Amino acid sequence: MGPPTAKAAPLPAWRRATASRAQVIIDAETYFATARRAMMSAKSDIFMLGWDFDTRVTLDCKADDGAPEQLGPFISWLAQNRPDLRIHILRWDIGALKAFVRGTTLFRLVRWLGSGRVRFRLDGAHPPTGSHHEKILVIDDQLAFCGGIDMTLGRWDTRRHDNKAPQRHPPGGGAPFKPWHDATMALEGDAAAALGDLARDRWLAATGKRLEPVGEVRRDIWPAGLEASFEDVEVAFARTRGANGDHEEVREVEALHLEMIGACRRFGYFESQYFASPAIAKAMADRLAEPDGPEFVVVHPRSAEGWIQSEAMDSARARLLARLQEGPGGERLRLYCPCTDDGEEIYVHAKIAVIDDAMLRVGSANMNNRSLGLDSECDVVIDARAAGQEHQRQTMAEIRLDLLGEHLDVAPQVVAQTQARCGSLIRAIEELRGQGRTLRPYTPEEVGPLEALAGEAEPLDPDGPLAANEPLTSPSLWRKLIGDRLDKA
């Protein structure tokens, strides 16, 4: 069954705009080098919005343009050599304390603040227990990147995830960082200007200062060497914002997820750091219960980072998966974890959805409560369900097949041929799975203390500030969690 051609209801969004060019970028080797080339072309404004930044990150060790390779010195070089360039950096405030003692980070920040050319701010305009989780880079309101990749250590990786790659190692040497899979989207034109507006709104909320947008002068600053798979395509932006002061709650990302799942006819392919949202699980359950409903594949890491995140996210995932697979149509849902050639687990940080090769979403939001109702998030979506958009649908199919080919270590056309023969995405993956580089079925391990505290533990993944505040003040929850942790130490 092909994608529908009748006019479909528009997907939920904050804003829609045309991207003169757009491209999905997989993994940080390509993104860091591409972003650096793009920033070298900046004339007036650079906005950097992130959950984390590390000034020691190497952006492109192969660059030969005379500018530094590392993020901190590179930003300083731009400020010194482009006197008309304004550089604005917004970072989540609460997570920044540890960052200040990383290497030369504090020294670099002091220099930036003293120069007046780089405006660095810690953004505290979020609900208690919330975070700013967007990862956005906007250049001259003409080119932007929006997705899941933070410019911080541990994110750089190639699509082969080879341990021998030198940039997989921390500054000063040591064991390599874990293999890391991630994604972002490059956007040109009016779509980039829309993200510029979002960045200025964030700056106003964080600092109280209003910044004027870039003028209408247009230049071609699309990075050399970056292919553009989409041209003159409408994109939509969906956000999450937790209620905070005068700012009302925004749940566009949640509405987008639910609408995409509800519109799915054949299959939904997802990549996400977490799979823990009851709202998304219920939407999937409703579709799985249909006799001729779609199938869903979720690619994610075997375990979340950090013990609290792991206890909360992994136990929530195990509960949701058990309920879904035990219910009607449960055999049409599979969760997989990718691994390298030598069997090492690859950490999935990408946030991607491809529905029927007719809807594509790339952004910062995970499939968990925080991303749907508490943290600040921004997703980009392209909807190609209408008639006359065959090229866009073919491009989405190529992106999905390329991702699966990477995970299964086979050519994308092999995935396409196997799926066509099997008549099922899940059966194709099962047939192509093998040893070494592959996708392994997720099987829940023994859950931690949060399993027994399921009702109380929900504040570790709250769906809004009201749900977060009161339970986090409960001493009984933290006494049990920390006590259990200490007992195991």
Q: What is the CATH number for 404?
A: 3.30.870.10
Domain boundaries, position 89? 21-230
Query: Given phi > 0 = left and psi -120 to 50 = alpha, else beta, which region is 123?
Result: beta
What confidence category does residue 163 fall into, taking pLDDT thresholds of 50, 70 and 90?
A: confident
User: Does residue 467 lie within any of the structural domains?
Assistant: no
What is the reported pLDDT for 450?
Answer: 46
What DSSP designation does 205 have?
H
Are 62 and 204 in the same domain? yes
Q: 10 Å Cβ neighbour count for 326?
A: 8
| Length of the chain as a residue count | 489
Are 344 and 426 contained in the same domain? yes
Residue 475: what pLDDT? 40
For residues 137 and 87, what is the distance between their CA atoms, to the nearest angstrom?
A: 11
Q: Are residues 249 and 121 in the same domain?
A: no
Report yes or no on 13 lying in a domain. no
Asked if residue 487 is part of any domain, the answer here is: no
Comparing 20-24, 92-96, 295-299, the range with the smallest average pLDDT is 92-96
Q: Exposed (0-12), middle (13-18) or buried (19+): which is 65, by Cβ within 10 Å?
A: exposed
- Predicted confidence at residue 310, as pLDDT, reads 56
How many domains does the structure of the chain reveal?
Answer: 2
- Identify the pLDDT of residue 280: 96
State the pairing for strand pair 377-383/230-241: antiparallel
Last residue of a domain, one of 213, 230, 247: 230
Same domain, 205 and 129: yes
Residue 12 belongs to a domain:
no
CA distances from 106 to 17, 98, 114, 120 (A): 38, 10, 12, 12
Q: Is residue 288 part of a domain?
A: yes
In this structure, are 31 and 131 located in the same domain?
yes
Q: Which amino acid is at 423?
A: G
- Spell out the long-range contacts of 216-221 with Cβ–Cβ below 8 A and sequence spacing 24 or more: 218/142, 219/41, 219/43, 219/140, 219/142, 221/38, 221/41, 221/42, 221/139, 221/140, 221/142, 221/143
Do 262 and 221 share a structural domain? no
Question: Which span out of 52-56, 245-249, 395-399 was modeled with the highest average pLDDT?
Answer: 395-399
Pairwise CA distance, residues 250 & 259, whole Å: 16
Angle among Cα 297, 303, 309 to the nearest 5 degrees reads 115
Residue 125, domain member (yes or no): yes
Question: Does 124 lie in the same domain as 244?
Answer: no
Q: Is residue 452 part of a domain?
A: no
Q: Do 224 and 293 fall within a single domain?
A: no
Residue 245 sits in the same domain as residue 367? yes
Percent residues over pLDDT 70 in the chain: 84
Instruction: Check residue 96 and report its DSSP letter.
Output: G
Q: Are residues 187 and 64 in the same domain?
A: yes
pLDDT at residue number 167: 82
* pLDDT at site 42: 96
The count of other CB atoms within 10 Å of the CB of residue 55 is 23
Do 280 and 372 sit in the same domain of this protein? Answer: yes
- Does residue 200 share a domain with residue 60? yes
Q: Residue 340: count other Cβ atoms within 10 Å of its Cβ.
A: 18
Angle between helices 71-81 and 28-40 (to 10 degrees): 10
Place of tokens 């209801």: 9
What pLDDT is stored for residue 246 in this prediction?
87
- The model carries a pTM of 0.90
406-448: pLDDT as tens digits: 999 999 999 999 999 999 999 999 999 999 999 999 988 765 5
16-20: average pLDDT: 98
**Alpha helices, H only, 264-350:** 278-288, 307-309, 315-326
Tell me, yes or no, whether 30 lies in a domain. yes
Single-letter residue type at 220: D
Domain boundary among 179, 210, 230: 230
Residue 476 banded pLDDT, cuts 50, 70, 90: very low
Give residue 96's pLDDT. 58
Determine the average pLDDT of the residues in 215-243: 92
Which residue, among 28, 33, 20, has the nearest Cα to 226 in the 3D structure? Answer: 33
